[in-house]
Amino acid sequence: LFLRKKSPGLRVDEDSNGEIIYPVNHGVQYQHLLCFVPGMIALGETYYNSQLDYVEDGSVESDYALSLAMNMTNGCWKTYSQSPTGLGPETLDITGKSKVRRLPRIRSTLANQGYYLRPEFVESLFILYRTTKDEKYREIAWQVFQSIEKYCKHEVGYTSLNNVNDINGESRKNHMPSFFIAETLKYILLIFAPDDYIGLDEFVFNTEAHPLRQIHTIGSLSDESCERLSPVIHQPMVPVFVLVSNCLFFLSGWLFLFLRSRRCCKKKRKHKKTL
């Protein structure tokens, strides 16, 4: 797979820290939902040998994927760090010659300044920390968590924000999506967990951040080698038991209602005969 810097999915900027890359939609709009991409690239490069090469002016630069993922994570982090609340907006229009407009000046109809407790950025932080062991990703995750605690925490939970520039709490939405607990908080927790806890070489996370144990190199395994595999790497049987028990419960309930209805019908017939 080859990637060009002028790809419509990337916009490149620079600051005092060097090159920053923003994941964008249609080449003009940064979206928080796209912040999972750097984690996906780092995951594929480190654990699945995706071999993503970088192309510029016809020359191919190998081993660029991890650097690309880090620069894209920096782009997502910049949208967080520039806002007064320390939380990133849902969308951000990219203007000028690859320069991003500062958050306090967003007035475009394309920009959505809300923060909806989404997990994509912290997901990439988790994967980047596991793949690089760079402590800065833990520090960033801690800053994000502190901002969530300060501006989103409510008496009975957490709430989304309508405006990441509002530090007075007037833009709270009184809405906490379920993925905040299932994904956002889980990824933040895993960043600070031991490195061998739910290892990325043993588990794969689905779209709701549920870890599923994977069978390694399944395409190259013979029947004999499969029999020798340790039980620890097989898929857990709990979901199967849950499915079977739910089916049995449904069938038993249906059978109970059927028998009861027949009994009631018999009683009605006997009652009519007596009359």
Map residue 10 onto helix, strand or coil. strand
| CA pair distance 125, 256, nearest whole angstrom | 52
Q: Which two tokens stand for residue 165?
A: 């520039």
At residue 161, what are phi and psi to the nearest 5 degrees? -120, 145
Q: Supply 258's token pair.
A: 């059927």
Is residue 125 a contact partner of residue 115, using CB atoms and an 8 Å limit? no
Cβ within 8 Å of residue 244, ≥6 positions away: none
Q: Distance between CA 74 and CA 137 in Å, rounded?
A: 10
Q: Is 139 a catalytic residue?
A: no
Q: Which two tokens stand for residue 28?
A: 């003009």
Question: Which entry of 90, 120, 123, 183 is annotated as an active-site residue?
Answer: 90
Cα separation, 166 vs 87, whole angstroms:
11
Which residues are marked as active site? 90
